[in-house]
Structure 1
Amino acid sequence: MNSVSASTRRGPGPKHGSDYAELLGIVKEAGLMRRRPVYYAVKGSLTLLVFAGAWVVFAVLGDTWWQLFTAAFLAVAYTQIAFLGHDAGHKQIFPRRRANDAVGIGLAGLVGMSYGWWVGKHNRHHANPNVEGADPDIDIAALAFTPRQSRAKQGFLRWMAKYQAFLFFPLLLLEGLDLHWSGIKAVWRGGLKARWVEATLLTVHIVAYLGAVFLVLSPGKAFVFIAVHQGLWGLYMGCSFAPNHKGMLTLTKENKLDFLRKQVLTSHNVTGRPWVDFALGGLNFQIEHHLFPSMPRPTLRRAQPLVQAFCVSRGISYSEGGLLMSYGQILRYLHEVGAPLRAEDARKKGRVRSH
């Protein structure tokens, strides 16, 4: 993993409250915070057209195993729609919150998610990235992201933490189902602004999705189709979000960092050509996105050199690396976190043998 200065794990740096304001001024002066309505009109129309076209192909193909390719294609379409919903959640598409929320709720309904639940969870993540006890993205029962979390695991979860580097990608296959289930639970509990709208959309999605699949396919093919579609969607979503913070600096609530350093030191960019921007929905510019959440996706690439140069001038570590290198960093970090548990078990086995 490349870094332009000191190690990203070196810890809190000095506070400079005016640094972020200065950087924001540079970005605004370059016109990078302005909305891009034409981009989103074209991007949204094409994405929805492809989504609808995939279902037309599904209906035309009928009861055949070739539908597994349709399932894989739909996994990509679902993720691209989710990326647009993410942009709406950050008010990147329209100037006003209400319009963004309306689009976000509709897009989330197409893929069977709760927009209100996701926005609340995601906002907590943005406010406290990689902060133990405050960031919901590192509070996952099946994984341990800090030594403290690994020591707290018991039973089967402890075993999973020991070998989590090997289980990480297989677990992502369940991410899609988890998103559906989390949305259902959130709507059931209430507390969402548009609870009944979201409940209606989730119900329509479930009924229409299962109805279409079991109407067109025989039961055996239908179950395999659902497994492939939902599994690949979860894998794609997980692989898009995982490189952003996993393996980066983790903090506690006691760590005091200014906004700029908190966002930069806990985030990681994935380098690559524009196809990476498309594949990862702009999330490959995670540092810039966390510094300026409402910045439209197409301007993130232009903002990147400005932000990197600013960080270099302030001696702030700026982490970036290729896609495969980034995944390798994640796996090494997860394996490292599980190492004390494996060592402890090895010592226990050694004592048993010695007796």
Structure 2
Amino acid sequence: MTTFSGMSDAPPRGSDYAHLSRRITDAGLMDRRPGYYVVRFLLVGAAVALTATAFVLLGDSPWQLLVAAAAAVGYGQVALLAHDVAHRQVFRSRVAATVTGRLLGNLGIGMSYGWWMDKHTRHHANPNHEGLDPDVAAGALVWTGEQAVAARGVTRFVNRHQALLFFPLLTLAGIDLRRSSVRGLLGERGATVRGRRLELGLLAAHAAGYLAALFMVLPPGLAIAFFVVHQGLFGVYLGSIFAPNHKGMAMPQGRLDFLRKQVITARNVRGGRLTDGLLHVAMGGLNHQIEHHLFPSMPTANLRRARPVVREFCAEIGVPYHETGLVRSWAEALGQLRHASAPLRGEGG
């Protein structure tokens, strides 16, 4: 079994993960789901086409701000498709995955597919591990007291109040990811991306087409308002997909075997009988984060079926398996932000 990065995640024979992997494979949960992805691509494509049609037909209308909100959700769903493509859930061929990923990521939403894949590979290899996982690197947010006390200038002020500022900061997440992806393509240290010129060209094409559409269809003031609503809500949506899955979970420092490293750093987000399906669609299946991290190439549609198998196995071997509701997941994530920034407020860590 291989991850989307091409690195083998096959465990030593006889390990706990090997035993679990056999159960998952015997249950058929690693089998491809081409029909599911055909339907999903068609539905997302139709939704994006309807949003674009509404944008053109409405023209100079305040209702365009609702279109901007719908477009933010559309961008999020395109990003989730790119995520599944990167994990080789959709195509066996690396070439097909790369071409589709660049069309969805670079041309579709203006974010470098190659840069993101490099970053996400490192996250999957060492989730929540400070110094190895780029998703817990210090920046506008800090995740440990040590990161907090090292902050300087404006960043220190933001870190001090980061729990209160978290959702406002998410409105900038989409823009910041694009900025980081451009820096990565231009040779930022630590980023390994092939086809940089092609990816930069696709990003430029997206930006030019997006801005041209805004200012050709809308008057300047409404175009700017559309941009702010669209990009701000897109950032909030992305944060709402990814933050509840790891933030507030263990941040291990020592060596752990593959299974424990993936399970104890992730949480599943569960809904009720009426909301679980909607939550699955909204989060692209990533509400089943534990299963996704254990089996990253498993098709999204199989994650729910894998959950009872993984949960039962973890209970058998005594590994904590954490899942909670959406509200509680946010409370735990914000609790970590408050705890990490406590030294800056003169409170106990």
- Tell me the TM-score normalized by structure 2: 0.91
Residues 149-188 of structure 1 aligned to structure 2 (within 5 Å):
149-188=147-186
Deviation of 1:192 (Å): 2.4
- Matched position secondary structure for 2:186: helix
Closer/same/farther in 2, CA of residues 16 and 169 from structure 1, 3 Å limit: farther
Counterpart CA distance in 1 for 2:146 and 2:252 is 12
Structure 2 residue aligned with 1:263 = 262
**What amino acid maps onto 1:297 in structure 2?**
T
Structure 1 residue aligned with 2:295 = 292
Instruction: Tell me which of 127, 130, 133 is aligned to 1:132.
Output: 130
- Matched position secondary structure for 1:98: helix
Deviation of 1:180 (Å): 1.8
- Matched position secondary structure for 1:189: coil
Structure 1 residue aligned with 2:236 = 235
- Matched position secondary structure for 1:270: strand
Q: Contact 2:123/2:132 (CA < 8 Å) preserved in 1?
A: yes
Q: Contact 2:118/2:193 (CA < 8 Å) preserved in 1?
A: no
Residues 197-216 of structure 1 aligned to structure 2 (within 5 Å):
197-216=198-217
Gaps of 5+ in 2: 1-11
Counterpart CA distance in 2 for 1:31 and 1:196 is 40
Counterpart CA distance in 2 for 1:322 and 1:221 is 38
Q: Contact 2:138/2:147 (CA < 8 Å) preserved in 1?
A: no
Aligned residues, how many? 329
Counterpart CA distance in 2 for 1:83 and 1:150 is 31
Instruction: Tell me which of 98, 115, 118 is aligned to 1:117.
Output: 115
Counterpart CA distance in 1 for 2:102 and 2:327 is 33
Residues 1-355 of structure 1 aligned to structure 2 (within 5 Å):
18-108=15-105, 109-189=107-187, 192-252=193-253, 255-272=254-271, 273-343=276-346
Structure 2 residue aligned with 1:5 = none
Structure 2 residue aligned with 1:353 = none
- Matched position secondary structure for 2:298: coil
Q: Contact 2:123/2:134 (CA < 8 Å) preserved in 1?
A: yes
Q: Contact 2:24/2:309 (CA < 8 Å) preserved in 1?
A: yes
Deviation of 1:70 (Å): 0.4
**What amino acid maps onto 2:211 in structure 1?**
L
Deviation of 1:153 (Å): 1.2
Tell me the alpha carbon deviations over residues 220-261 of structure 1, each in whole angstroms, 9 at most, x when there is no partner.
111111000000000000111001110000122xx0100000
Tell me the alpha carbon deviations over residues 85-105 of structure 1, each in whole angstroms, 9 at most, x when there is no partner.
000010000122221122111
Q: Which moved more, 1:94-103 or 1:133-142?
A: 94-103
Counterpart CA distance in 2 for 1:216 and 1:61 is 9
**What amino acid maps onto 2:331 in structure 1?**
G
Deviation of 1:56 (Å): 1.2
Q: Which moved more, 1:115-124 or 1:174-183?
A: 174-183
**Higher RCO (CA < 8 A, seq sep 6+):** 1
Q: Contact 1:125/1:136 (CA < 8 Å) preserved in 2?
A: yes
- Matched position secondary structure for 2:323: strand
Tell me the alpha carbon deviations over residues 159-207 of structure 1, each in whole angstroms, 9 at most, x when there is no partner.
2222111011110000111122122222333852222321221111101
Deviation of 1:152 (Å): 1.2
- Matched position secondary structure for 1:99: helix
**What amino acid maps onto 2:186 in structure 1?**
W
Q: Which moved more, 1:41-50 or 1:23-32?
A: 41-50
Q: Which moved more, 1:168-177 or 1:89-98?
A: 89-98
- Tell me the TM-score normalized by structure 1: 0.90
Structure 2 residue aligned with 1:352 = none
Closer/same/farther in 2, CA of residues 42 and 287 from structure 1, 3 Å limit: same
Counterpart CA distance in 1 for 2:313 and 2:202 is 44
Q: Contact 1:243/1:270 (CA < 8 Å) preserved in 2?
A: yes
Q: Which moved more, 1:105-114 or 1:154-163?
A: 154-163
Counterpart CA distance in 1 for 2:233 and 2:14 is 43
Q: Contact 1:16/1:258 (CA < 8 Å) preserved in 2?
A: no
Q: Which moved more, 1:193-202 or 1:259-268?
A: 193-202
Q: Which structure has the larger Rg over C-alpha atoms?
A: 1
Q: Contact 2:32/2:299 (CA < 8 Å) preserved in 1?
A: yes
Deviation of 1:17 (Å): 6.6
Gaps of 5+ in 1: 1-14, 346-355
| Structure 1 runs, 4 residues or longer, greater than 6 Å off | none
Counterpart CA distance in 1 for 2:100 and 2:319 is 37
